Amino acid sequence: MELIPVIGLEMHAEMKSTTKVFSPAENTYNDISNLHVNKIDMAFPGILPLVNMECMEKAIEMALILNCNIPKIFMFDRKNYYYPDLPKGYQITQFNKPIGTNGYLTIDVDGEEKKVEILDIHLEEDSASLDHYSYFSLIDYNRAGVPLLETVSAPCIHSSKEAVAFLDTMKNIFRYTGISDADIKRGQIRCDVNVSMMEKGSSEFGTKVEVKNVNNIANVAATIEYEIKRQTELISAGRKDEIVQETRRYDEATNTTISMRSKADAIDYKYFVEPNIPPFNISDELVEEIKSRIPVLPNEKKLKYINELNLSSIEANIIVKDKEVSDYFDKLIELGTDIKLSTNWVINQVTDYINNNDINISELYLNPERLKYIIDQVISNKISNKQAKELFSKSLELNREPSELIKELGMEQLNDSDELRTLIISLLDNNKTQVEEYKNGKTNMFQFFVGQVMKETKGKANPVMVKEILTEEISNR
Amino acid sequence: MDSVILDLHNKLKNNEITSEELIKETLEKSKNIQNDLNPFVTICEETNIPKSIDNVLSGIPYVAKDNLSTKDILSTGSSNTLKDYVPFFDATVIERLNKKNACLIGKSAMDELGLGGTGTTCHTGVTKNPWDKTRITGGSSSGSACLVASGVVPFALGSDTGDSIRKPAAYCGIVGYKPTYGAISRFGLFPFASSLDHVGVLTRTVKDAAIVVDNVVGIDENDMTSIDLKSNLTESLTNNISGKKLFYIKNMLDINNYENPSDDLKNIINEFNKTIELARSLGATVDSVEFDQNLLNAIFPIYQCISCAEATSNDSNLTGIIFGPRGEGENYIDMIKNHRTNGFCSLIKRRFIIGSYVLQKENQEKYFLNAKRVRRLLVEKFNELFKTYDAMIMPAAGSIAPKIDSINEVINGTGSMQEVLENYMAIGNFGGYPSITIPNGFVSGMPIGINLTGAVYEDANVLNIAYTLESNMNYRNQIAKEVE
């Protein structure tokens, strides 16, 4: 019996906005706790929510990108439950009328296109964050009321690879549009992962398990892998009934999932329409305007790289994967840098460096202008590739202009043909025996002379020119 | 004299009395009344006495219901869960009165968090009726009604979710007015049921109600449900209702529809009929309209469903974690439980359970959503009537203020006509209608009231009808006998 994993994802992304979704407190990440807090975020008696239209517009933008239907009238609902990180005792979310429904997103899974159906996308508020210690817990309300955009996929994903491709694509769209920074390290992306196993050829879903609050994409993949293994093993061992509808959590330490509560203990959230936000509409004109604001997205950009710049599909994929890398690359090209070399440098040296040093490309000392200088030196044969790499490293190590370093490191190539000719002539004059040997057929003596020139010039001589002049002069003997 | 506020304003302006004297006198009266009737949670000994009298509310003393957030002044909502809560921000309505230099001299007691209609569930004890100390004031704006009726202040702020301003006004022989939903911002009002909550005012004359409301209405950027009434109420009081069309609900005023009607009820209906005749003599027409009895019977149950449901959610912030006395317990669940078990009176707990029950997944469709549908049906019917009529005129209650010791807080749900008459004013909250109660004489020595309710935004029209009737009766500016 062959089993197919059936996976549905609920992806929460913290949105980028000036203020929080229902309060005028700043929406800024801060290491100092409880700095960006308004009385609304802490639910003091008598507060009322105020819908942030910037968040509404960004949420609509995402719904449009995901090809969703947008309702004519917007409203919000309350999701009621008690928890110390939820000051009001309810979360304002969209249950009855999400901002978008019935959409899809086309993703690339190892060169294969796949359409992921989107059931809905809705706007809601984040809870406060809790820090648990042995005897107590601390609450940070900075996050309370931060706008969250939740995207719910249909159960149409069948592997961890597809899930990762979907989440990566979503993450890239968030960054390209500025709807979210989608910063994994800051926990801006969190997922609820639904996994079940279905018999091949069957149309009946298996029992679904929900793994809540998985906080980065790699862990989503690990969660899926683990659940597939666990459920497959149970089914194979004839213990299918041990797979129960339940909520689990991912445990990073053991790389497994752990049961939290069964369906019987599921919380009844008692959803009802938020009475403090009157239903409102957004004009067709504004929706059109939002649509026109959507920037060039990764897929579109990838096609542009392939068709206009002749990049390979693999190269284009690597560059578009990170908006900032892509912006950096675009700037290089815009400055008129060689396309082939730009591509190689960005994909290899630049990407390696930012990954190894865990920095953003925007923080890289070698901005596109400086990298262009290095590439230009290679193009005009002033330095070798090897020297260019050395210059790249030194410049980043010292945060110094490559145009200054190139001189200090004595890297500038000797390209003066007169100077080289004088040097070669005197070399041939001083090594008459070797010239004779060459003339008598010992052709590897040519390399000896090249080596001598390089030695004399401390490697600065342009090797191409050396060979040309040497060939000329030696044949004149 | 049709306005106590204008009268005081003129005295202040002409230096017949200084602001200091007025406030001192008010505070003295306050303390006496507090000993006698217990209407205060807080008496503000220090209030901002204005340096000059530059508008009609300058230096006018008032009290605010204790569910309005007042910066640096204890605001308890008459609940033990907030017994030491001192807010750091003002409700919009308070802020607007501050700008007018009105003088807040105290915070009035109320049924705990607004969930009650008797004035007996305040954490500081029962508020007594100034006309008869053995009787309730009604609620939940009990302290506000008591203080206006006993002549301590010319106006008091209240809130009204079912009839919490208009019913105590009737029981205390004063004016109680809640404007159209959203006309006065709810920002800073401790919520009971957000879709039904209104901020309003209790006064001894209709004109005073108009004056106060004119000074606090308007769009508030902190309340997305706030609206602009676009009319000046005070200027709309013309004392002319010639050609106005009124109606009353026939089934509810037919004494034969009541099982064992009390003499008080008969007399209340008699007084009502006299007032209808008065309205007719002033040029208005008054029609009797038969209304679907099933819908009338539904008013009270759907009010319970919707208000309790919203209340259970609205009051979920009362956990003792961020503010209020921290509960004891090994974990947060026990701490919250402890705080809420000790904090709330039994009436509130029962209502939270009703609210929670009707919101449960398996019950929501049957109770909560059906209640909302019937609410809409009722509102559509009334909207239809308001296309023809300027206002509905009805008795504000089916009895005089009950005796304190007769109060049984358990909801009976008898479905009787008496129950309909006691609870129908929630219609004003269902539709967000402007609704005002004015005194309509006395029965068994206690004041009674009539209520006028009109279409949304028709506040000026409704108030003018009330004003004109008031001008032609003898119950304006009544101060309770027991305290005179």
Please indicate whether, in this complex, the C-beta atoms of B224 and A49 are within 8 angstroms of each other: yes
Terminal Cα-to-Cα distance of chain B (whole angstroms):
19
Over its C-alpha atoms, chain B yields an Rg (Å, rounded) of 21
pLDDT at A263: 78
Is residue A371 classed as helix, strand or coil in its secondary structure? helix
B336 in Cβ contact with B327 (< 8 Å): yes
pLDDT at B411: 62
CA A223-A228-A234 angle, to 5 degrees, is: 125
pLDDT at B234: 98
A79 CB neighbours in chain B (<8 A) are none
Q: Which of A47, A83, A272 sits opposite B359 (nearest CB)?
A: A272
| ipTM tops 0.90 | yes
pLDDT, mean over chain B: 96
Is residue B66 classed as helix, strand or coil in its secondary structure? coil
Containing H/E element for A120?
A: strand A112-125
Residue B484 has pLDDT above 60, yes or no: no
Q: Phi and psi for B340 in degrees, rounded to 5?
A: -80, -35
Identify the residue whose tokens are 């007018």: B100
CA A263-A269-A272 angle, to 5 degrees, is: 145
User: A370-389, pLDDT tens digit by residue?
Assistant: 999 999 999 988 888 888 99
Rounded to an integer, what distance in angstroms lies between the CA atom of residue B103 and that of residue A248?
58
Identify the residue whose tokens are 């679907």: B292
What average pLDDT score do residues B76-90 get? Answer: 98
Please indicate whether, in this complex, the C-beta atoms of A89 and B322 are within 8 angstroms of each other: no
| More reliable by pLDDT, A412 or B319 | B319
Please indicate whether, in this complex, the C-beta atoms of A272 and B364 are within 8 angstroms of each other: yes
Identify the residue whose tokens are 């931060």: A146
What average pLDDT score do residues B246-267 get? Answer: 96
Residue type, B349: K
B69 CB neighbours in chain A (<8 A) are 44-46
* 3-state class percentages of chain B: helix first, strand second, coil last, to nearest 5: 45, 15, 40
Across the A:B interface, residue pairs with CB atoms under 8 Å apart total 97
Q: In what order do the strands lie in the sheet with A90-93?
A: A90-93, A77-80, A272-273
Rounded to an integer, what distance in angstroms lies between the CA atom of residue A435 and that of residue A240?
86
Omega before B144 cis (within 30°)? Answer: no
B155 in Cβ contact with B200 (< 8 Å): no
- When pLDDT is cut at 50, 70 and 90, the band that residue B250 belongs to is very high
Determine how many CB atoms are found less than 10 A away from the CB of residue A192.
Answer: 18
What's the pTM value of the predicted model, to 2 decimals?
Answer: 0.89
A330 in Cβ contact with A309 (< 8 Å): no
Over its C-alpha atoms, chain A yields an Rg (Å, rounded) of 31
Omega before B140 cis (within 30°)? Answer: yes
Half-sphere exposure of A330 (CA within 13 A, CB side): 12
Residues 6 or more apart whose CB falls under 8 angstroms from that of A358 comprise: none
B426 in Cβ contact with B178 (< 8 Å): no
B187 CB neighbours in chain A (<8 A) are 46-48
Q: Largest alpha-carbon pair distance within chain A?
A: 103
Alpha helices in B59-141 (DSSP H): 92-99
Residues 6 or more apart whose CB falls under 8 angstroms from that of A380 comprise: none
According to DSSP, residue B196 is labeled: T
B364 CB neighbours in chain A (<8 A) are 270, 272
Q: Which of B246, B258, B149 is nearest to B479 (CA)?
A: B149
Residue A93 has pLDDT above 80, yes or no: yes
- When pLDDT is cut at 50, 70 and 90, the band that residue B412 belongs to is low
Rounded to an integer, what distance in angstroms lies between the CA atom of residue B259 and that of residue B209?
37
What average pLDDT score do residues A137-149 get? Answer: 96
User: A42-54, pLDDT tens digit by residue?
Assistant: 999 999 999 999 9
Q: Does B225 touch chain A (CB under 8 A)?
A: yes
User: B149-190, pLDDT tens digit by residue?
Assistant: 999 999 999 999 999 999 999 999 999 999 999 999 999 999
pLDDT at A74: 96
Identify the residue whose tokens are 């019977």: B297
Identify the residue whose tokens are 């700095």: A35
Residue type, A340: K
- CA-CA distances (angstroms) from residue A15 to A103, A139, A180, A219, A360? 20, 21, 4, 21, 19
Rounded to an integer, what distance in angstroms lies between the CA atom of residue B400 and that of residue A44?
37
Residue B241 has pLDDT above 80, yes or no: yes
A404 in Cβ contact with A394 (< 8 Å): no
What average pLDDT score do residues B117-139 get? Answer: 96
In the numeric block, which tokens belong to residue A345?
A: 């440098």
- CA-CA distances (angstroms) from residue A278 to A286, B304, B416? 19, 22, 35
What average pLDDT score do residues A413-420 get? Answer: 79
Q: Is B159 part of the annotated catalytic residue set?
A: no
pLDDT at A146: 97
Find how far residue B256's CA is from the centre of its chain.
Answer: 30
CA B184-B185-B188 angle, to 5 degrees, is: 130
Q: Which of B67, B224, B359 sits opposite A48 (nearest CB)?
A: B224
Q: Does B310 touch chain A (CB under 8 A)?
A: yes
Q: Which of A49, A83, A88 sits opposite B317 (nearest CB)?
A: A88
In the numeric block, which tokens belong to residue A44?
A: 């003091």
Rounded to an integer, what distance in angstroms lies between the CA atom of residue B390 and that of residue B387?
8
Identify the residue whose tokens are 């026990």: B334
Rounded to an integer, what distance in angstroms lies between the CA atom of residue A265 and that of residue B432?
39
Q: Which of B313, B341, B365 to mutate to test the interface with A (most CBs of A within 10 A)?
A: B313
| More reliable by pLDDT, A470 or B253 | B253
Q: How far is B113 from chain A (nearest CA, A)?
A: 11
Residues 6 or more apart whose CB falls under 8 angstroms from that of A313 comprise: A111, A302, A306
What average pLDDT score do residues A67-75 get? Answer: 96
Q: Which of B19, B75, B140, B141 is catalytic?
A: B140
B81 in Cβ contact with B340 (< 8 Å): yes
According to DSSP, residue A105 is labeled: E
B469 in Cβ contact with B279 (< 8 Å): yes
User: A195-243, pLDDT tens digit by residue?
Assistant: 999 999 888 899 999 999 999 899 999 999 999 999 999 999 999 999 9
Q: Does B351 touch chain A (CB under 8 A)?
A: no
Q: Which of A404, A325, A308 is nearest to A361 (CA)?
A: A325
- When pLDDT is cut at 50, 70 and 90, the band that residue A190 belongs to is very high
Identify the residue whose tokens are 């204005």: B50
Q: Which of A25-39, B262-276, B400-414 has the lowest mean pLDDT?
A: B400-414
Residue A4 has pLDDT above 90, yes or no: yes
Q: Which of A12-16, A135-139, B303-307 has the lowest mean pLDDT?
A: A135-139
Q: b/e map of A174-186 (b: 16 or more CB within 10 Å)?
A: bbbbebbbbbbee
Q: How far is A87 from chain B (nearest CA, A)?
A: 6
Is residue A64 classed as helix, strand or coil in its secondary structure? helix
Q: Is B65 part of the annotated catalytic residue set?
A: yes
pLDDT at B410: 63
Q: Which of B3, B30, B58, B65 is catalytic?
A: B65
Determine how many CB atoms are found less than 10 A away from the CB of residue A330.
Answer: 17
Residue A192 has pLDDT above 60, yes or no: yes
Determine how many CB atoms are found less than 10 A away from the CB of residue B346.
Answer: 10
B74 in Cβ contact with B315 (< 8 Å): no
Residues 6 or more apart whose CB falls under 8 angstroms from that of A451 comprise: none
Identify the residue whose tokens are 């990407």: A351
Q: Which of A411, A408, A410 is nearest to A400 (CA)?
A: A408
A49 CB neighbours in chain B (<8 A) are 224
Residue type, B333: I
Residue B8 has pLDDT above 60, yes or no: yes
Rounded to an integer, what distance in angstroms lies between the CA atom of residue A311 and that of residue A339?
9
A43 CB neighbours in chain B (<8 A) are 317, 322
Identify the residue whose tokens are 């296309």: B387
User: A321-366, pLDDT tens digit by residue?
Assistant: 888 899 999 999 999 999 999 999 999 999 999 989 888 898 899 9
Q: Which of B360, B384, B361, B358 is nearest to B371 (CA)?
A: B358
Residue B482 has pLDDT above 70, yes or no: no
Q: Which of B210, B99, B218, B91 is nearest to B155 (CA)?
A: B210
Residue type, B196: L
- CA-CA distances (angstroms) from residue A43 to A88, A189, A285, B74, B110? 5, 25, 35, 17, 22
In the numeric block, which tokens belong to residue A7?
A: 């996976």
Residue A29 has pLDDT above 70, yes or no: yes
What average pLDDT score do residues B287-312 get? Answer: 97
Residue B398 has pLDDT above 80, yes or no: yes
In the numeric block, which tokens belong to residue B466?
A: 């009330």
- CA-CA distances (angstroms) from residue B408 to B79, B111, B161, B405? 20, 14, 20, 8
What average pLDDT score do residues A185-200 get? Answer: 94
- CA-CA distances (angstroms) from residue A220 to A40, A108, A243, A279? 33, 18, 20, 36
